[in-house]
């Protein structure tokens, strides 16, 4: 099995006042490009004096030592793997699945296999005689992928089986239902109860400057700022609380835009993070003290953000038929709802 290659580079006076990615590219030329080094930095593969540096523009201190970790090469194309899929609908143009929590959508850093793409390649290979394949628009590592769900978010996804279907579906998702029929609704279990009980969160998102894998509410006009709008409605409120307000509620969120971690960031932004969200809800973990002692342990043990892609409406890319798909919460989320009397 291939192992990562580690290079140690002393930081000399040639690095003074220069960006880390720029200086490393010079040190590693021609083997590594500046773009490749920037990706390594962003994925935590570069350390200075033992501490990870995640910002390419960081200016390294003279006299230190850079540890550059080069992951082993991976296959250019994902391989099919026999992974169970819950298929809600399938024809020669699209597949609709109910993605389970814990399943990564496509291969990437740290996830060379065991992804939804690997499962789809295997599934479609078994049905090749029927003309079932996957579109290539998304590239070799994202065949058929029109949209994504976070690893620990479950729910409805559509996959394109050919380029024509992919293009049609991509236009629907880009429009977000403003002029078409596409609609996505999510269900989230959040701490507290938003006020008012329904509203619009209009807050642009950008990459968190302190941690590149996170998103944050944009505070300025940085280059990666993206418009982000979420419509929310309270569905049910927990009977548990401190006597003044319920400890949690079930919220339906409808996306007007589809940004990475949008619902999770937006709900935390208004003070009601998703239960189980270790990335955006850590500052609110004391809210568990509002619950009766008998249910605290079960809620504290919930292993992921409590988020379900519950509903998807779209237009079939070939027939034009309007199709709707609804899924129920998976068992772990049902148990959470029951524990919270939701």
Between CA 224 and CA 218 the distance in angstroms is 9
Q: Which domain holds residue 34?
A: 5-70
Task: Calculate mean pLDDT across residues 126-144.
Answer: 62
With pLDDT > 90 as the criterion, what percentage of the chain qualifies? Answer: 45
Q: How many domains does the chain have?
A: 2
Asked, for residue 50, whether it belongs to a domain, the answer is yes
Averaged pLDDT score across all residues of the chain: 87
Give the confidence band of 316 by pLDDT, cuts at 50, 70, 90.
very high
What is the predicted pLDDT for the residue at 241? 76
Lowest mean pLDDT among 62-76, 257-271, 289-303: 62-76
Task: Answer whether residue 277 is part of any domain.
Answer: yes
Residue 169, in any domain of the structure: no
Task: Give residue 30's pLDDT band: very low, low, confident or very high (50, 70, 90).
Answer: low
> Which range among 145-154, 248-257, 275-284 shows the weakest confidence by mean pLDDT?
275-284
Name the pLDDT band for 222 (thresholds 50, 70, 90): low
Q: What is the 3-state secondary structure (H, E, C) of the chain?
A: CCCCEEEEEECCHHHCCCCHHHHHHHHHCCCCCHHHHHHHHHCCCEEECCEECCCCCCCCCCCCEEEEEECCCCCCCCCCCCCCCCEEEECCCEEEEEECCCCCCCCECCECCCCHHHHHHHHHHHCHHHCCCCCCCCCCCCCCECCCCCCCCEEEEEEECCHHHHHHHHHHHHHCCCCCCCEEEEEEEEECCCCCCEEEEECCEEECCCCCCCEEECCCCCCCCECCEEEEEEEEECCCECCCCECEEEEEEEECCCCCCHHHHHHHHCCCCECCCCCCCHHHHHHHHHCCHHHHHHHHCCCCCCEEEEEEEEECCCCCCEEEEECCCCHHHHHHHHHCCC
Domain assignment present for 165: no
| Residues β-bridged to residue 307 | 188
CATH number at residue 27: 3.10.290.10
The last residue of a domain, from among 22, 52, 70: 70
Average pLDDT rounded to a whole number, residues 332-341: 94
Catalytic residues: 150
The CATH number of residue 214's host domain is 3.30.2350.10
pLDDT score of 139 = 63
Among 70, 101, 125, where does a domain finish?
A: 70
Query: Average of pLDDT values for 242-259?
Result: 89
Q: Above 90 in pLDDT, residue 127?
A: no
pLDDT, average across residues 133-158: 82
- Per-residue pLDDT band for 319 (boundaries 50, 70, 90) equals very high
- Residue 2 pLDDT > 80: no
Q: Considering the domain boundaries, does residue 224 fall inside one?
A: yes
Single out the residue in 70, 93, 123 at which a domain terminates: 70
Is the pLDDT assigned to residue 201 strictly greater than 90? yes
Residue, of 204 and 220, whose pLDDT is higher: 204
pLDDT at 223 over 70: no
Per-residue pLDDT at 34: 82
**Considering the domain boundaries, does residue 195 fall inside one?**
yes
Is residue 146, in this structure, part of any structural domain at all? no
pLDDT of res. 44: 87
The answer to whether residue 99 is domain-embedded is no
pLDDT at 187: 98
């Amino acid at each position: 099995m291939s192992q990562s290659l580690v290079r140690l580079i002393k930081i000399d006076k040639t690095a003074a006042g220069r960006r880390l990615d720029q200086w490393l590219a010079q040190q590693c030329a021609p083997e590594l490009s500046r773009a490749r080094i920037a990706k390594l930095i962003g994925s935590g593969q570069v350390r200075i004096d033992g501490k990870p540096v995640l910002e390419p523009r960081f200016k390294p201190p003279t006299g230190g030592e850079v540890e550059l970790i080069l992951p082993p090469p991976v296959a250019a194309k994902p391989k099919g793997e026999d992974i169970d899929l819950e298929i809600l609908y399938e024809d020669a143009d699209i597949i609709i699945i109910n993605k389970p929590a814990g399943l990564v959508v496509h291969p990437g850093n740290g996830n060379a296999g065991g992804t939804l793409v690997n499962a789809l390649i295997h599934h479609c290979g078994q049905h090749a005689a029927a003309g079932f394949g996957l579109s290539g628009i998304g590239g070799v590592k994202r065949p058929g992928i029109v949209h994504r769900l976070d690893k620990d978010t479950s729910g409805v996804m559509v996959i394109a089986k050919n380029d024509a279907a992919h293009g049609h579906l991509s236009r629907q998702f880009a429009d977000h239902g403003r002029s078409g029929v596409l609609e996505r609704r999510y269900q989230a279990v959040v701490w507290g109860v938003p006020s008012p009980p329904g509203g619009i969160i209009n807050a642009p998102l950008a990459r968190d400057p302190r941690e590149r894998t996170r998103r944050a509410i944009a505070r300025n006009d940085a280059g990666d700022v993206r418009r982000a709008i979420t419509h929310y409605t309270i569905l049910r409120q927990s009977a548990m609380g401190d006597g003044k307000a319920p400890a949690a509620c079930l919220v339906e969120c409808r996306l007007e835009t589809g940004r990475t971690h949008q619902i999770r960031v937006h709900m935390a932004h208004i003070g009601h993070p998703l239960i189980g969200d270790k990335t955006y809800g850590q500052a609110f973990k004391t809210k568990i003290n509002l619950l009766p002692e008998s249910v605290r342990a079960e809620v504290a043990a919930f292993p992921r953000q409590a988020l379900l892609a519950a509903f998807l409406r779209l237009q079939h890319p070939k027939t034009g038929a309007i199709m709707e798909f609804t899924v129920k919460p998976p068992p772990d989320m049902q148990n959470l709802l029951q524990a919270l009397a939701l």
